[in-house]
Amino acid sequence: MKVAVVGATGLVGTRMLQVLEERNFPVDELFPVASAKSVGRNVSFKGREWTVVSAEDAIAAHPQLALFSAGGETSHQLAPIFAEVGCRVVDNSSFWRMDPTKPLVVPEINGDVLSAGDYIIANPNCSTIQMVLPLAPIHKELGIKRIVVSTYQSVTGTGYKAISQMNTERGIAEKERPEGDLLAPATAVGHWGEYPAIYPYPIDQNILPHIDSFLENGYTKEEMKMVNETRKILRDESIAVTATTVRVPVQGGHSESINIETHKPFTLEQVRSLMASMSGVVVQDDPAHNVYPMPIYAWGKDEVFVGRIRRDFSVENGFNFWCVSDNIRKGAATNAVQIAQLLLERHLL
């Protein structure tokens, strides 16, 4: 089994390698692919060092599987070339997700859509994955009419540079931040303080209601991803979805406040039971004892944690809940490897 990981030195790519190893995925030859400046470096996998190679070298080796996490433009250019040599591509970027000819897969929900003809398979957005996993059994049993979601997304979703920005800001917070510069847009000067900034404003002790670029409708691309991907994964274009996505100074994982309106009436016990029945979902819902999901405890885990499940008294069939997951694992790397495992089980690799 020849496996390529495109973007192998990035935050998600390194986690993909970790998850492949943890799950004992059968890799006989590994082809870590990264940008030209990283070619020749080594990455560790299964007790040995593997040399980072160019995409051209990986394609020439005719791998059976390629896991991509290198951005939309790289996926646009390279995924079809890998596919042409008979390689199954699982792509973590947003480029192929809404292509009607490409499956968008959360294995526990819609893994059945995979077929022998699928050579480019889209991995959903991290925020979408953790939301739809507990909602799938709700939709199947009760029918979802409307979703209102607000996200609280970790800086890890933007990669190593964002983590560096936050940690650097925290290191200089007390003694080196000049008075009056705290709210100066970093993009105006290219730096905030003495380090390159990935966000347009400071992220430490701040919250940015801005993830990805803004669209003409006033929403961001991240928000519209949650709208469109949810409908595609749950196979129901009638679901009304509205989202507000927010970056918070947290490193552990993404959190979401979700409001649901269903077509059918329900009991809260039924909602908890349906969510708990979903593989990969853990219900932590005991507010009397301060038991509820938090990102600091989701870090490094593959499950989606839900709690604060309570009725919305403003509508006839409504409820709220709180949802937390490690966005780099289930939100990206783990889901991609699970897709690869499903391909293997179905003898498509």
Task: Give the chain's radius of gyration (CA, Å).
Answer: 21
Question: What gap in Å lies between CA 290 and CA 5, rounded to an integer?
Answer: 41
Tokens standing for 161? 């540079």
Count CB-CB contacts under 10 A for residue 335. 26
Query: Which tokens belong to 151?
Result: 């996200």
Structure tokens at 324: 């937390």
Distances (CA, A) of 43 to 3, 18, 78, 330: 14, 11, 21, 22
φ/ψ region of 297 (left if φ > 0, alpha if ψ in -120 to 50, else beta) reads alpha
Catalytically annotated residues: 126, 254
C-beta atoms surrounding 35 within 10 Å: 14
Rounded-to-integer distance, Cα 196 and Cα 165, Å? 7
The kind and range of the H/E element at 244 are: strand 240-244
